[in-house]
């Protein structure tokens, strides 16, 4: 059995230092301080100490997640990977995810739609490239399909495809005047950018019709 001999507020004002028998034990949130009835002079046994440590481990995990989300939005899978790198336990991470969902801090659907629009508008990537990138971020196929259908039409894909293909074709023409090679190189390039075969064929046909 140990005794809480001192409780002091940390400099940030949001956490408190707990001293047991004059020795620093851990920092806790104000919520934990109140809920566990921690006060100077209180006796605390080993079971309570273990519960306190587990509680604060969860709180630290949640606080770190909030810190990360305060800097930028994260897909759930990516956030989990960052928490694991900090060696938080599965229990702490699950607690954090549930709390974040409750407060609507996690929204893969909204992020997926924003990701599609961003890659379409600024990076000029094709739908297949975007879909693969989203799968790597842990987004479900259902969410990916929905976001692409609602935010990236076939005509928009064609416009992006032909826009980047025009510049690339001029570059390839400096390397060779063989039409077959030009088409092959252009097809491979556009496929890597994530455009469908239908859009690529339409693009190449349009750009090489006078060759």
Q: Are residues 30 and 16 in the same domain?
A: yes
Do strands 2-9 and 43-44 pair parallel, antiparallel, or not at all (unpaired)? antiparallel
Domain count, the chain: 4
Q: Are residues 143 and 193 in the same domain?
A: no
Name the residue range of residue 92's domain. Answer: 46-106
Q: What is the pLDDT along the chain (211 residues), one digit of tens a residue?
A: 899 999 999 887 778 999 999 999 988 988 888 888 899 999 999 998 899 989 989 999 999 999 999 999 999 999 999 999 999 999 999 999 999 999 999 999 999 999 999 999 999 999 999 999 999 999 999 999 999 999 999 999 999 999 999 999 999 999 999 999 999 999 999 999 999 999 999 999 999 987 6
CATH code of the domain containing 77 = 1.10.10
Query: Do both 91 and 114 map to the same domain?
Result: no
Instruction: Let me know whether 92 and 122 are in one domain.
Output: no
Q: List the one residue out of 186, 191, 175, 176 whose CA is nearest residue 208.
A: 186
DSSP lists the bridge partners of residue 17 as 8, 27
pLDDT at 127: 98
**SS3 sequence of the chain:** CEEEEEEEECCCCCEEEEEECCEEEEEEEHHHHHHCCCCCCCEECHHHHHHHHHHHHHHHHHHHHHHHHHHCCCCHHHHHHHHHHCCCCHHHHHHHHHHHHHCCCCCHHHHHHHHHHHHHHHHCCCHHHHHHHHHHCCCCHHHHHHHHHHHCCHHHHHHHHHHHHHHHHHHHHCCCCCHHHHHHHHHHHHHHCCCCHHHHHHHHHHHCCCC
């Amino acid at each position: 059995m140990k005794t809480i001999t001192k409780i002091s507020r940390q400099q940030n004002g949001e956490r408190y230092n707990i001293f047991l028998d004059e020795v620093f034990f851990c920092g806790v949130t104000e919520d934990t301080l109140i809920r566990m009835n921690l006060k100077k002079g209180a006796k605390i046994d080993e079971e309570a100490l273990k519960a306190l440590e587990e509680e604060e481990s969860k709180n630290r995990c949640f606080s770190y997640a909030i810190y990360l989300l305060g800097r930028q939005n994260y897909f759930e899978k990516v956030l989990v990977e960052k928490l694991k790198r900090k060696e938080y336990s599965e229990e702490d991470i699950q607690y954090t995810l549930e709390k974040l969902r409750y407060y609507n801090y996690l929204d893969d659907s909204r992020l997926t739609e924003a990701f599609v629009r961003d890659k379409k508008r600024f990076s000029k990537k094709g739908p297949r490239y975007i879909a693969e990138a989203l799968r790597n971020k842990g987004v479900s196929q259902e969410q990916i399909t929905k976001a692409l259908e609602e935010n990236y039409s076939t005509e928009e894909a064609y416009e992006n495809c032909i826009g980047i293909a025009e510049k690339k074709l001029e570059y390839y023409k400096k390397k060779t005047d063989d039409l077959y090679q030009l088409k092959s190189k252009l097809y491979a390039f556009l496929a890597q950018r994530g455009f469908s075969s239908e859009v690529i064929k339409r693009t190449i046909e349009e750009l090489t019709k006078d060759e």
